[in-house]
């Protein structure tokens, strides 16, 4: 008697399983990439619309693509052309961190979502998932870079200005159709985009408490994840506080469109600077010409006020200089103390009960210092545009520069100090709270015996 089986051969099943796994991973990676770019595009479009960029002649799509590229760390170069009559100098380095933050949160969530129901995650599968997201992300970034290029014609003549060069050469320059434009430098853009997406995936794995890790990395879960998750909560708390303040300002101070443009494009640029200043850190910079930063007036006043000491051309942005312009800036200190202590307490509560306060202090201090080593540099802003006529000088009404540069190691040093002190305090406070892995001991009677008379 011959038995016929309807099951496919074993070799066919084993070959189909990896193929199905690869297809599922590729589809999930595509969803993560599309969702991340779509979220960034929507936020950037709303921010540009609030800033008035919707009225640009035929260049809104290119500007939108450029903002998204810059949000992922890409490099956008400015250029200008005024024929043989004039020369131009242009530079722009900045990250619209609201767009960056939204893209990172959405991409990280979509990357982790398929892993939630896994009991264990193999190292090969995790690398395969990360590799698929990275490849698709860079392909999409290259496509956006091709769109992020445009030239705008500028009109100089007919303007009422006190600049003698403008009065003399404005109409003459208009006759040669001066333009200003931007292009994406593809090589650096892809390199920094690679670092950006790798950083997003790594941080997503570090802060997620429910995502399983490969067996070789499980031992690092308890010392790393509680502090990393607390750092994410701290940064988001500052963004939330800044959002509430911005909404109040938009409702009460007028110019709501300008306020919403700041909220939708550069809110973390301001709030994370407030965190660094609140713990004792400092920035340096200046603002000259008609251009400026979309920042609170007190910060703009400090940047335009000039400095002293070794760098008289630069202003120091710290707690004392801000308070000299507005006494309310002193509130940055107690706000930092409360929020950093809350983050330290949250990290301690999520840590195993066997964690000693000094261990929590050390872990939290290192985590806070590393966080500021990342958060402070991305607030860097360097922008300059100048138009010189026949080598005589620059047109003041069209030239200007903005600089805001953090003292990274000073900020990181203060973060380490604050993390060690408040981390210890948070660990001591958490010792009074029931924590993971803690077993309640049965109450003893007055004779010192436990249940059933056990000593």
Long-range contacts of 324-327, Cβ-Cβ distance < 8 Å, separation of 24 or more: 325/298, 325/301, 326/298
pLDDT at residue 306, rounded to an integer: 65
* Per-residue confidence band for 87, with pLDDT thresholds at 50, 70 and 90: low
Residue 275 bridge partners (DSSP): none
Total Cβ atoms within 10 A of residue 299? 26
Which SS3 state, helix, strand or coil, does residue 403 take?
Answer: strand
Mean pLDDT score of the chain: 81
Q: What is the pLDDT averaged over residues 77-88?
A: 59
168 within 8 A of 136, measured Cβ to Cβ: no
Residues 6 or more apart whose CB falls under 8 angstroms from that of 84 comprise none
Residue 209 pLDDT: 79
Lowest mean pLDDT among 170-174, 189-193, 242-246, 345-349: 170-174
CB-neighbour burial class of residue 428 (10 A; exposed 0-12, middle 13-18, buried 19+): middle
Q: 351 near 209, Cβ under 8 Å? A: no
- Token pair listed for 63: 């500007």
Range name among 177-181, 292-296, 367-371, 444-448 with the lowest pLDDT average: 444-448
Span 359-413, pLDDT tens digits: 999 999 999 999 999 999 999 988 776 555 444 444 444 556 788 999 999 999 9
DSSP secondary structure code for residue 436 in this structure: T
In sequence order, the β-bridge partners of residue 315 are 285
pLDDT at 43 over 50: yes
Question: Of 145-149, 270-274, 297-301, 397-401, which one has max mean pLDDT?
Answer: 270-274
pTM of the full predicted structure?
A: 0.84
Higher-confidence residue of 292 and 395: namely 292
């Amino acid at each position: 008697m011959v038995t016929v089986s309807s099951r496919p051969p074993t070799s066919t099943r084993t070959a189909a399983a990896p193929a199905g796994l690869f297809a599922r991973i590729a589809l999930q990676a595509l969803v993560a990439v599309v969702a991340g770019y779509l979220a960034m595009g929507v936020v950037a479009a709303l921010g540009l619309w609030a800033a008035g960029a919707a009225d640009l002649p035929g260049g809104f799509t290119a500007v939108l693509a450029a903002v998204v590229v810059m949000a992922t760390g890409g490099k956008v170069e400015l250029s200008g052309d005024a024929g043989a009559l004039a020369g131009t100098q242009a530079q722009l380095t900045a990250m619209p961190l609201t767009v960056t933050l939204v893209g990172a949160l959405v991409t990280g969530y979509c990357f982790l979502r398929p892993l939630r129901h896994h009991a264990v995650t193999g190292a090969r599968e995790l690398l395969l998932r990360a590799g698929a997201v990275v490849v698709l992300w860079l392909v999409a970034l290259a496509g956006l870079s091709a769109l992020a290029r445009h030239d705008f014609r500028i009109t100089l003549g007919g303007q009422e200005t006190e600049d003698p060069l403008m009065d003399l050469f404005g109409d003459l320059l208009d006759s040669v159709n001066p333009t200003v434009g931007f292009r994406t430098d593809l090589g650096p853009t892809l390199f920094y985009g690679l670092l950006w997406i790798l950083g997003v995936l790594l941080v997503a794995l570090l802060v997620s408490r429910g995502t399983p890790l490969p067996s070789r990395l499980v031992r690092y879960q308890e010392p790393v994840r509680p502090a990393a998750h607390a750092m994410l909560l701290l940064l988001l708390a500052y963004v939330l506080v800044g959002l509430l303040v911005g909404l109040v300002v938009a409702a009460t101070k007028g110019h709501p469109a300008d306020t919403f443009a700041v909220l939708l494009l550069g809110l973390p640029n301001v709030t994370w600077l407030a965190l660094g200043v609140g713990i004792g850190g400092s920035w340096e910079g200046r603002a000259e010409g008609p251009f400026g930063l979309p920042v609170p007036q007190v910060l703009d006043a400090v940047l335009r006020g000039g400095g002293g000491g070794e760098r008289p051309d630069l202003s120091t942005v710290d707690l004392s200089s801000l308070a000299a312009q507005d006494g309310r800036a002193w509130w940055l200190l107690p706000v930092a103390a409360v929020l950093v202590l809350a983050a330290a307490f949250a990290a301690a509560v999520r840590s195993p009960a066997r964690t000693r306060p000094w261990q929590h202090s050390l872990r939290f201090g290192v985590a806070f210092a590393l966080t500021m080593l990342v958060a402070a540099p991305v607030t860097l802003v360097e922008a300059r545009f100048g138009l010189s006529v026949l080598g005589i000088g620059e047109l003041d009404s069209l030239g200007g520069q903005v600089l805001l540069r953090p003292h990274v190691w000073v900020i990181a040093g203060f973060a380490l100090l604050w993390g060690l002190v408040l981390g210890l305090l948070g660990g001591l406070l958490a010792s009074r709270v029931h924590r993971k892995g803690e077993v309640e001991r049965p109450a003893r009677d007055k004779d010192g015996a436990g249940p059933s008379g056990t000593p």
